[in-house]
Structure 1
Amino acid sequence: MAHPSAPSPSSFEDAVADVAQVVFRDDLAVRQISAPTGLAPNAIALAGDIRPESEHGESLYGTGRFLLLHDPTEPDPWGGPWRVVCFAQAPLDADIGIDPLVADVAWSWLVDALRAHDAPHHSASGTATKTLSKGFGGLAEEGDGAQIELRASWSPDGRFSAHVEAWAELLGMLAGLPPGSENIDSIRTKGTRRG
């Protein structure tokens, strides 16, 4: 776990090396993917899937993306040369999905995960969206469904590995798998993917 007073890597190559040293929980499959172009001169992107059911990373528990962007011109909204952009999505039981505080809880889990991993940051922003769905016709048998989706960005301070660890913890929490639950069933029933 990084310490908040640890200096940020000075180069993008150092940042990539810092991110690469993160060890993930056994039931989170993380791989490096191609970063979107046009967001920053340098970027690294990770994809994560909780308990994937295929070698292609498909998961009924949850999925996410983590981007670390570097722009030495220090864009004003960033307040520095680095920016994290993350995405996390997980199915919910329908009765949890109707809770009016679900989105607030998802955001608080991100804030708590950043704090727990000593990942200082500033200029945070984001959205938490819950979606309710009902199947009809050929999908009627699937019944009601719900999903939570969190999109967030912030400017990291300190070691980037701590921010990756916080994102990984968020994925587990949204999937109903808190820290230390690698060999335990989800505290929620497994949802179905609707898309």
Structure 2
Amino acid sequence: MAHDRPASGSPLDLAVAELAAVTFRDDLTVREIPAPTGLAPSSYALAGDVRPEPGAHESLYGTGRFLLLHDLSEPEPWGGPWRIVCFAQAPLDADIGADPLVADVAWSWLVDALASRGARYQAASGTATKTLSKGFGSLAAEGDGAQIELRASWSPTGDLGDHVEAWAELVCMLAGLPPGSEGIEQIRGRGTARA
């Protein structure tokens, strides 16, 4: 796997050790994945899936990616040496997907998750996209579907573990599993994810 990881003892290696100490809830499976190259001199990436089916590549409930970038030159837009880029998506029931405020709610859940963990940051930006779909022809039986997707980035200024915990909370929230719901059946039914 290509991770753009520098020698042991580097700032990124210390950060990865900090992230490795985080314990995630049982219904979120988190694993290291290859980090994209060319975004920063060093990077580290995680993937998270909510209640994945055995052998499945992605969860039917929700999925996310967490990317930690490090650049000692402190790019001006970052305002520091670190940048986090995250992605989270989940299917929605069609009636929830039609709500005009669902994108605003997704962004507020990220901000709330960061605040609840005490994760300090600056220069946050992102997009929340909702997709509505309707099947036709041989897909008509699948009915209407909806999906929410959040892409965000920010520059962490504190404990990196707090930030990965906030990301994990966001992924679970989008999938209908709020904090404290470990081991409880999903709050809403699975939507049909189609794009």
Q: CA deviation at 1:157?
A: 1.0
Letter in 1 for 2:32: Q
Secondary structure at the aligned position of 2:99 is classed as: coil
With 176-185 and 41-50 compared, the bigger mean Cα shift is at: 176-185
Deviations 1:90-129 (A, max 9, x none): 0000000010100000000000000000100000000000
TM-score (norm 2): 0.93
Larger relative contact order (CA 8 Å, sep ≥ 6): 1
Cα RMSD after superposing both structures: 1.3
1:122 and 2:122 correspond: yes
Q: CA deviation at 1:54?
A: 2.3
Letter in 2 for 1:92: L
Q: Which residue of 2 aligns with 1:3?
A: none
1:24 and 2:24 correspond: yes
Q: CA deviation at 1:187?
A: 1.1
Q: CA deviation at 1:183?
A: 1.1
Q: CA deviation at 1:64?
A: 0.4
Q: CA deviation at 1:10?
A: 7.8
1:103 and 2:100 correspond: no
Q: Which residue of 1 aligns with 2:148?
A: 148
The number of residue pairs the alignment matches comes to 187
- Cα 1:56/1:189, change in 2 over 3 Å: closer
d(CA) in 1 for partners of 2:179, 2:127: 23
Q: Which residue of 2 aligns with 1:192?
A: 192
Say whether the 8 Å CA contact 1:29–1:57 is kept in structure 2.
no
Say whether the 8 Å CA contact 1:44–1:68 is kept in structure 2.
yes
With 9-18 and 41-50 compared, the bigger mean Cα shift is at: 9-18
d(CA) in 2 for partners of 1:52, 1:192: 16
Q: CA deviation at 1:192?
A: 2.5
Q: Which residue of 2 aligns with 1:136?
A: 136
* Structure 1 residues without counterparts, runs of 5 or longer: 1-8
Secondary structure at the aligned position of 2:25 is classed as: coil
> How does 1:167-182 map onto structure 2 within 5 Å?
167-182=167-182
Q: CA deviation at 1:159?
A: 1.0
TM-score (norm 1): 0.93
d(CA) in 1 for partners of 2:20, 2:50: 19
Q: CA deviation at 1:139?
A: 1.0
Q: Which residue of 2 aligns with 1:73?
A: 73
- Cα 1:10/1:119, change in 2 over 3 Å: farther
Say whether the 8 Å CA contact 1:49–1:57 is kept in structure 2.
no
d(CA) in 2 for partners of 1:141, 1:188: 21
Say whether the 8 Å CA contact 2:94–2:191 is kept in structure 1.
no
* Structure 2 residues without counterparts, runs of 5 or longer: 1-8
Letter in 1 for 2:33: I
